Structure 1
């Protein structure tokens, strides 16, 4: 997360010029947010991310030259600290799972309000994942259909009962604040649990942790 007195630096990457320009202008007047660039395709977006080093990238899934998924992978490799929000027309997108694997921190429907977009930027900049419960359910269904990951040579990793409990709430799309309320613990404690989970599983995002836990039968979901 950026320092409190510094704005969250955002890069907007979308091939639809009117949408991209509109989003750039609207985010530009949001307090605590600074748009540091915009790009019209995945190649330009990746190059711009390398030079601008944004905190958050809003990235369209469907773009020419380089898809959003490919751009997501490239940006995470060149600017690991950047959080990526995939922009999608529908929550039925088959690419959502691929985006999780590519390191995306969240998904945003293109018909979201500017308040929702701004809140999404703040949430992922704070290190949280952004995913609606309906998308979470679809992703979990996909995770269940998948084979075990290639981690059989890793030593057995054990999560505590409390960590599994936190992970089950993450899987349902809840943010840290809501998880804290549900478990009657502090938001900071939830953050610590999530950090410990990622460290134990050697993963980079909350949704990756859920995917791993379901595959490894550490977590049973309805």
Structure 2
């Protein structure tokens, strides 16, 4: 069922439909009314309900690696690149590289935007 929905079908009928029903459904399809047998409609509704309950909002922060998230948290707490380099035992150049990656992934360009994003993410 999932694969059928992903392919963008116009309708779906089961083999057990009578030839007269098939002809009626083809005329309806031509008129823009998608044919769906009751069994398929029920299955589609169940699938859509399941998909809605499984969907949760995506946070852009989820795209960050563990280290990028640590750098993000440090930057939003006001730490300098040098302080973060010392804290994590890496060079300040590596912190700068992580910072550029964070800005790119989050589609931001300033520390102010970083702070605003952190505030929104925290609630």
Q: Report the TM-score when normalising by structure 1.
A: 0.27
Which structure has greater strand proportion?
1
Larger radius of gyration: 2
Larger RCO: 1 or 2 (CA < 8 Å, sep 6+): 2
